[in-house]
């Protein structure tokens, strides 16, 4: 089974967290699900370099990394994923979606109401326990 290593950004702006929605996908179980933005690590790239690059590519947004948050290991039916999440901040809510179909800036307490991708759920649960 294929194994993918990815990074995800928990992007804060004041008291809000950025959540993005995936588009249609060949795997129904992640199609249209909500997630924290990010993507795959490239060869010879650090996790920190990857998250800054991915957010710039996907959202045209500048972020600053504050800390590593949680690493999630999840097995979907067709692939395994290791996802390293980082708490990040931005000073700008002006973003451009290039890979997602929707986004929301939500209060911590409201993120639980979204239909999250399974690999993102442990991050959501930890965020709800420890507001950043």
Q: pLDDT value at position 124?
A: 97
Taking CA atoms, 72 is separated from 66, 69, 96, 126, in Å, by 18, 10, 27, 11
The pLDDT value recorded for residue 119 is 98
Provide block-wise average pLDDT over 10 residues at a time, the chain (132 residues).
96 96 94 97 97 98 97 97 98 95 96 97 94 61
107 - beta bridge partners? Answer: 16
Where residue 91 sits, what CATH number does that domain have?
A: 3.90.79.10
Phi, psi of 104 (to 5 degrees): -145, 140
pTM: 0.95
Domain count, the chain: 1
pLDDT recorded at residue 132: 58
- Quote the domain boundaries for residue 13: 2-129
Q: What is the pLDDT of residue 8?
A: 98
Q: b or e along 38-58 (b: 16 or more beta carbons within 10 Å of the residue's beta carbon)? A: bbebeeeeebeebbbbbbeeb
pLDDT of residue 131: 64
């Amino acid at each position: 089974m294929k194994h993918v290593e990815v990074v995800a950004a928990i992007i804060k702006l004041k008291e809000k967290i950025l959540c993005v929605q995936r588009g249609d996908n060949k795997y129904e179980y992640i199609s249209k699900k909500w997630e924290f933005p990010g993507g795959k690590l490239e060869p010879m790239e650090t996790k920190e370099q990857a998250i800054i690059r991915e957010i710039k590519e996907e959202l045209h947004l500048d972020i600053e990394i504050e800390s590593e948050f949680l690493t999630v290991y999840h097995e979907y039916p067709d692939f395994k994923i290791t996802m390293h999440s980082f708490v990040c901040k931005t000073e700008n809510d002006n973003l451009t979606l290039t890979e997602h179909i929707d986004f929301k800036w939500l209060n911590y307490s409201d993120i639980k109401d979204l239909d999250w991708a399974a690999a993102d759920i442990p991050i959501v649960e930890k965020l709800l326990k420890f507001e950043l």
